Amino acid sequence: MPGGAGGISKMTEEEEAQQNFKISDMINKMDDELKDRFKALKAIQDLCRGFDDEENEEIRKLEIVYENKYKEIYQLRNELVNGTTPVDANLVKAFDERAVEMKDADFEKIELTPCDVKAIQGSPKGVSDFWIKAMLNHPIGESITEKDRPILGYLTNIELDLHSGEESKGFDLIFTFDENTYFEGTTIKKSLFMKD
């Protein structure tokens, strides 16, 4: 009888009730000398399961706290990508310092493919095509078709908004685009609701 969040996957209430009935029935059919041991084991398992929902609620609260911290950083990225803010000299300095810290004897042996920056050369600000290139270099890129690429060229930002309160087991993905001829408006929001 595995327990805790790392145990068996969640069941529907009906499936869980049926399983509990089967276990209780099986225990009640055991020899008297064994019954109490297995009743106690089942009670311990039930105590573990009782903490699952509480644990999940606390984890979700922590996820929301950190997602709000990430949003501040993502806003800086959005401003830089879309050219609404100048490059912060402190960020460049942080990059340079980290590069020095990471350099070791094997650094020169690393083979790299040069980054294609033709699309932004000569542009005074911003990083055009940032999102489509990021998506194509991510495992999700395998599902992007040739038909998707021109539309995704208009993508200027992707935001994640974790649900809280009653709908706390889900999130919204908010895609912001430049005005385009593919659809009206500039925002597409996809809401996902997770089930136990």
Give residue-wise pLDDT tens across range 122-173.
Answer: 677 888 889 998 999 999 999 999 999 999 999 999 999 988 876 668 899 9
The residue ranking higher by pLDDT, 10 or 89, is: 89
Q: What's the full length of the chain, in residues? A: 196
Break the chain into its structural domains and give their ranges.
13-193
Residue-level pLDDT at 56 = 84
Segment 32-56 shows an average pLDDT of 85
For 92-124, the pLDDT digits (tens) are: 999 999 888 888 777 777 777 777 776 776 677
What is the rounded distance in angstroms from the CA atom of residue 129 to the CA atom of residue 178?
A: 12
Indicate if the pLDDT at residue 9 is higher than 60. no
> What confidence tier does 196 reach under pLDDT thresholds 50, 70, 90?
low
At residue 146, φ and ψ (nearest 5 deg) are -60, -35
Residue pair 41/1 in contact (Cβ under 8 Å)? The answer is: yes
The answer to whether 170 touches 192, Cβ cutoff 8 Å, is yes
pLDDT, mean of residues 62-86: 92
User: Please, which residues have CB within 8 angstroms of residue 167's CB and are 6 or more apart in sequence?
Assistant: 193
Say whether pLDDT at 17 is over 90. no
Residue 8 predicted with pLDDT over 60: no
Tell me the pLDDT of the chain averaged across its residues: 84
Q: Between the CA atoms of 176, 179, 180 and 186, what dihedral angle is there, to the nearest 10 degrees?
A: 40
What is the rounded CA–CA span in Å between residue 62 and residue 70? 12
SS3 state at 108: helix
pLDDT reading at 27 higher than 90: no
Question: What pLDDT is recorded for position 4?
Answer: 42
Strand order in the sheet with 155-162: 155-162, 170-177, 187-193
Contact criterion met (CB below 8 Å) for 126 and 83: yes
Separation of alpha carbons 155 and 147, rounded Å: 14
